[in-house]
Amino acid sequence: MSTLSINNKLIFETLSVFVIISIAAVGVQHLPISSTAKWIIYTPLLIFQGLWFYRFYIVGHEASHNKLFRDNKQLNDLWGSVVLLPIMVPITIYRKIHMFHHGFNRKDHHTSSLDTFVIKGNPSLMRKIYCYTVWYISVFFGGFFFHSLISILLFLFVPVSLSKKISPAFNNWGIKDQLKSIALFSLGVALHLSVFFLLCKEIYLYTLGYPMLSFAWILSMLVYIFHYDTTTGTGVRFNVRSVKRVPIFSWILMNFNEHATHHQYPNVPWHELPTRSTPLPQKYTEQNQNTWNFFRAIINQVKGPTIVYEDKTT
């Protein structure tokens, strides 16, 4: 099957499953059982909804690399934008941030190393507690999701001239990019408002509202597991790990477990990652491949952040 056919099927599957689980979630609320029983039934479905919203995020990831429809950028961005609407992420901003991630991933302690806190001055106990608190909130209580949302809002509305001063990811960011991003974000907001006001509050909560909260929690736990506590340095393509395939999760997350292969060869489409799996160079393997277990990679983040102390004069 061609990549075009595979990605057509991917988009159809992604949107179809979203509709099915949304109908199921609303249907559970109309079962003739107690509220407690409804939540017992709904909770695993809610977790699946959060994971499926993460599927939206990864389809957007493919679109940000122009891999959905390689020969038609407009079609690529159109379907990438459609799939990203429920999570209100403009493909334009996604692409800028993600390309920066690939180019500068863990290049140094100050650049794209989310688990590293650089502290100037004396390493006091209170500063260490602060770093650990921020890290645990970021990973296990949805913090990375809200950080991402604030970043999106920031670059939607700050003057273009200030964008690159705030983050080098936005070099060459122009007013046209910003206006397009505002339009795409507005469409996502409009989707949420339309479901809320044109359908009803209950339908909104069980199709978009609660699933967004589930997604916030899941995204925050998963978004950095492939880079947490890996090497730091100029070999940005290798500051990463892969984990072994877990059937249900690998299907939902589109083989994202082959993350080391993706970073070494970012143009390889998602469906070819397992067959083109590439190990890291030996010098990176010992530290980065300290686990092949998907769930262990999540739990390892309990160890906390890396704290680097620098002299105030540096």
> CA 130, 136, 142, 145 torsion: positive or negative?
positive
Encoded tokens for 307: 């704290």
State how far the Cα of 284 lies from the Cα of 260, in Å rounded to an integer. 11
Find the radius of gyration of the CA atoms of the chain: 20
State how far the Cα of 182 lies from the Cα of 14, in Å rounded to an integer. 25
User: Considering the chain, what is the average pLDDT of its residues?
Assistant: 92
- Identify the pLDDT of residue 312: 65
Name which residue leads in pLDDT, 277 or 151: 277
* Residue listed under structure tokens 């530290």: 287
- Which stretch of 62-66, 87-91, 124-128 has the lowest confidence by average pLDDT? 124-128
Helix (H) / strand (E) element for 119: namely strand 116-120
Question: Could you write out the DSSP letters of every residue in 206-259?
Answer: IIIIHHHHHHHHHHHHHTTTTTTT---SS-GGGS-------HHHHHHTTTTT-H
Residues 23-51 have pLDDT tens digits of: 999 999 999 999 999 999 999 999 999 99
What's the CA dihedral at 51, 55, 56, 58 to 10 degrees? Answer: 130
Residue 311 has pLDDT above 80, yes or no: no
Residues 173-212 have pLDDT tens digits of: 888 999 999 999 999 999 999 999 999 999 999 999 999 9
State how far the Cα of 44 lies from the Cα of 47, in Å rounded to an integer. 5
Q: Enumerate the domain spans of the chain.
A: 3-310
* Exposed/middle/buried for residue 15 (C-beta within 10 Å: 0-12, 13-18, 19+): middle
Length of the chain equals 314
Share of the chain residues as helix, strand and coil, in percent rounded to the nearest 5: 65, 5, 30
**Beta bridge partners of residue 310, listed in sequence order:** 120
- Identify the pLDDT of residue 2: 76
Encoded tokens for 4: 């075009």
Residue 112 has pLDDT above 80, yes or no: no
Confidence bin at 168 (pLDDT 50/70/90): confident
- Identify the pLDDT of residue 263: 96
The rounded percent of the chain whose pLDDT value lies above 90 is 76
Across 60-76, average pLDDT = 93
Cβ-contact 206, 137 below 8 angstroms: no
Cβ-contact 280, 296 below 8 angstroms: no
pTM of the predicted model as reported, rounded to 2 decimal places? 0.93
**Beta bridge partners of residue 119, listed in sequence order:** 309
* Exposed/middle/buried for residue 57 (C-beta within 10 Å: 0-12, 13-18, 19+): buried
Report in angstroms the alpha-carbon separations of 62 from 10, 83, 102, 128.
Answer: 11, 11, 13, 37
Residue 313 has pLDDT above 70, yes or no: no
In this structure, what DSSP letter does residue 300 have?
G
Q: Which of 173, 181, 2, 227 is nearest to 81 (CA)?
A: 181
Residue 166 has pLDDT above 90, yes or no: no
